[in-house]
């Protein structure tokens, strides 16, 4: 792989990590929202939706991190 393609891949890997960081901020905000739901509503649909959103965001973070790792591995080939 030439230097130019390595640079393009590095930029893409960096963007994936940046996006994962942005998602972590959103996840943290959603966690705070969920944690502030009153105890008597913690079995409500609103709470369950927040839980589901947090789970989905965490999955996206993992996927972006994995994608970045795979791209960096390709650079090393």
Confidence of residue 1 (pLDDT cuts 50, 70, 90): confident
Q: H or E element: which one contains 12?
A: helix 3-35
Q: Phi-psi bin for 48: left (phi > 0), alpha (psi -120 to 50), beta?
A: alpha
For the stretch 19-72, pLDDT in tens is 999 999 999 999 999 999 999 998 899 999 999 999 999 999 999 999 999 999
C-alpha 14, offset from chain centre: 13
For the purposes of burial, counting CB atoms within 10 Å of the CB of 76, is it exposed (0-12), middle (13-18) or buried (19 or more)? Answer: exposed
Say what the pTM is: 0.88
Q: How far apart are CA 74 and CA 54, in angstroms?
A: 30
């Amino acid at each position: 792989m030439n230097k130019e393609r390595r640079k393009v891949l590095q930029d893409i890997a960096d963007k994936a990590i940046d996006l994962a960081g942005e998602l972590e901020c959103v996840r943290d905000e959603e966690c705070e929202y969920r944690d502030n739901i009153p105890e008597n509503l913690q079995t409500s649909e609103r709470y369950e939706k927040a839980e589901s959103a947090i789970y989905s965001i965490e999955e996206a973070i993992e996927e972006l991190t994995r994608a970045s790792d795979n791209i960096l591995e390709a650079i090393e080939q």
